[in-house]
Amino acid sequence: MNGLHLTADLYDCQQPSLLIDEAALQQLCLSQVELVGLKAVSACWHQFPASAAGPGGITGVVLLAESHLALHTWPERGGVTLDVYVCNFGADNSDKAQALLAALLAAFAPRWQQLGHLQRGELD
């Protein structure tokens, strides 16, 4: 159960189209997962309908052989919440998790962010 769980709350993102374009967001996530050397095994995405507050946000999960990437967009607030969790069973995937988070931060370009870092499970 040893793994690294990274969280990010992103505010005032400078790429608002990513907050409402499901296809672009899915492509970004899947391509970055592959670029950092993680393995996507499945994905599920949901676009919420527009409301009086504006366009609907997106919830997405990329299931990884190593665990998961999950994110939720809040276009009416210009925000994103996301988490990257990788298990380190058999190999330390921590650098890959950090690279994935860094790539997503660069893509969303938030004006400010709140990051979390949790080492999970037993450390051997």
Query: Would you please indicate which residues are annotated as catalytic (active-site) residues?
Result: 67, 72, 87
Reduce the DSSP state of residue 17 to 3 states and report it. Answer: helix
Six-digit token string for 37: 């050397």
Distance CA 78, CA 19 (A): 8
34's enclosing H/E stretch is helix 22-36
End-to-end CA distance of the chain: 10
Six-digit token string for 57: 């946000």
